[in-house]
Amino acid sequence: MATLRPSVACPARPTVKTEALHAVNMESIVLFGPPGAGKGTQAQRIMQSTGLPQVSTGDMLRASVAAGTETGMKAKKFMDAGQLVPDDVIIALIRDRIQDADASNGVMFDGFPRTIPQAEALAGITNVSHVIAIEVPDEKIVERICGRYTCGNCGAVYHDTFNPTKTEGTCNSCGSSDFKRRADDNADTVMSRLSAYHEQTSPLADWYDSKGIFHRIDGDRAIDEISTDILIALE
Ligand SMILES: [Zn+2]
């Protein structure tokens, strides 16, 4: 997400040199974060710093269906019937994926696991060494997401609080006064997405916490500060 709260100086925070963090013998990590927490940005940075490829089960499913692999065809039957793809099919996909050459030091899972049975199945095929949860208070996420709007003419992106137009009601780029807000960006929708996220992840968080590998990262800060703390947690 482009619009975050302004950076707050924090001179006491240690800095981490990313080149010191190459992924020799590193194991797989799992990344958690609610929608609107800036997880995509941090995922990019973790990949750059650790060299671990990102494994998104949604992307993997689509790719395996497109490639027509055996597992892909199995998954497609469920998807075509509007059903959830069963865990054993997803685990089979992951098992194949982590044998690829770029995964020899581990991978970064994004969007998986979502349940304790999935986490247990994952533990059976790869060693998860760190679980990183980016945490942002719900009301801050609502503020971030609901304040977004775009110019209906040129597509320029604005935010009520963090990036308003210079002149109220006039696009900086093209001068248009036609603005759009996404219907699913309203506060009620965002709150219900967030409560679904918390319901789903809190048992998993406890499960990983009991294994001593769960790291809560305060995501309500500048992007660089969040990245630094994630890399410290991964050391
Ligand atoms: Zn415009």
Within a domain: 14: no
Q: How far is the CA of 146 from the centre of ligand 1 (A)?
A: 19
Residues 68-77 have pLDDT tens digits of: 999 999 999 9
Is position 182 annotated as part of the catalytic site? yes
Residue from 39, 97, 144, 221 carrying the catalytic annotation: 39
Is position 62 annotated as part of the catalytic site? no
Query: Is residue 169 predicted with pLDDT exceeding 90?
Result: yes
Q: How confident is the model at residue 89 (pLDDT cuts 50, 70, 90)?
A: very high
Q: How far is the CA of 170 from the centre of ligand 1 (A)?
A: 8
Within a domain: 87: no
Within a domain: 89: no
Is position 97 annotated as part of the catalytic site? no
Within a domain: 173: yes
Residues 107-117 have pLDDT tens digits of: 999 989 999 99
Is the CB of residue 21 less than 8 Å from the CB of residue 49?
yes
Look at residue 2 in the predicted model and tell me its pLDDT: 41
Pairing of strands 28-32, 108-110: parallel
Within a domain: 109: yes
Is the CB of residue 110 less than 8 Å from the CB of residue 56?
yes
Domain count, the chain: 1
Is position 5 annotated as part of the catalytic site? no
Q: How far apart, in whole angstroms, are the C-alpha atoms of residue 230 and residue 235?
A: 9
What is the residue range of 111's domain? 27-52+105-234
Residue from 77, 180, 181, 182 carrying the catalytic annotation: 182
Q: For residue 130, what is the domain's CATH number?
A: 3.40.50.300
Residue from 13, 114, 140, 144 carrying the catalytic annotation: 114
Within a domain: 98: no
Within a domain: 193: yes
Query: Is residue 25 predicted with pLDDT exceeding 90?
Result: no
Q: How far is the CA of 2 from the centre of ligand 1 (A)?
A: 17
Q: How far apart, in whole angstroms, are the C-alpha atoms of residue 153 and residue 185?
A: 19
**Residue 109 DSSP SS3:** strand
Q: How far is the CA of 179 from the centre of ligand 1 (A)?
A: 8
Q: How far is the CA of 156 from the centre of ligand 1 (A)?
A: 5
* Sheet of strand 179-180, all strands in order from the earlier edge strand to the far edge: 157-159, 148-151, 179-180
Top-confidence residue, 26 or 153: 153
* Strands, E assignment, the chain: 28-32, 54-56, 108-110, 128-135, 148-151, 157-159, 179-180, 214-218
Q: How far is the CA of 155 from the centre of ligand 1 (A)?
A: 6
Q: How far apart, in whole angstroms, are the C-alpha atoms of residue 25 and residue 107?
A: 12
Mean pLDDT, range 93-108, rounded to an integer: 91
Is position 114 annotated as part of the catalytic site? yes
Mean of the per-residue pLDDT values of the chain: 87
Within a domain: 168: yes
DSSP assignment of 121-185 equals HHHHHS-EEEEEEEE--HHHHHHHHHTEEEETTT--EEETTTB--SBTTB-TTT----EE--GGG
